[in-house]
Amino acid sequence: MSRIGNSAIVIPADVTLSQQDGMIVAKGKNGELSAPLHSEVELSIADNIATLKPKRKTKLALSLWGTMRASISNMVVGVGSGFTRKLEINGVGYRAAMQGNKIVLSLGFSHPVEMDVPAGLTAVVENNTSITITGADKQLLGQFASEIRSKRPPEPFKGKGVKYAEEHIVRKEGKKK
């Protein structure tokens, strides 16, 4: 049994959740998100509380039950209050800047790395070394943050590179003479 699937989703007053033609639509102050509802799971919405139940006791239905509940919960939180991810850039000469809807990263390569910010996300660069990304879609936000980090992951000797703000880099000792 799914422990996550058992818990109900409390819908805030400023968010509306509806089900139309097999699609789940969440609307709030941060926009609108929609996702398909899998045929193995059924959704019921009553009194600002959404609950999910598997239609059958198959392994697929039970595994999708918790997954769909987490996905719908992320949609409700995203359109209501949104998600934020912070990245830090460490290293001499490593910096970031915004040019319109692009993030331009100088990461020690012979060329600057330019990345378009996806629709639905906003990025802010502070002090040339910290990037704050906000948006309603948790999956898109995490994907874009990991793409930025993958351009120059932090290395373990000096700690240079792009890392998440809450990430701890385990440092290694260098060569001994």
CB-CB contact of 117 with 144 (8 Å): yes
For the beta carbon of residue 92, count every other beta carbon within 10 angstroms: 7
Domains present along the chain, CATH in parentheses:
3-80 (3.90.930.12), 83-164 (3.90.930.12)
Instruction: Quote the DSSP letter at residue 69.
Output: H
Q: What is the structure's pLDDT at 85? A: 95
Q: What is the structure's pLDDT at 4? A: 83
Q: What is the DSSP string of 105-173?
A: EE-SSSS-EEEEPPTTEEEEEETTTEEEEEES-HHHHHHHHHHHHHHSPPPTTT--EEEETT--PPP--
C-alpha to C-alpha distance for 151 and 157, rounded to whole angstroms: 18
Q: What is the mean pLDDT of the chain?
A: 91
Q: pLDDT tens digit string along 163-174?
A: 999 989 889 988
Q: Which residues of the chain have pLDDT under 70?
A: 1-2
Q: What is the structure's pLDDT at 177? A: 78
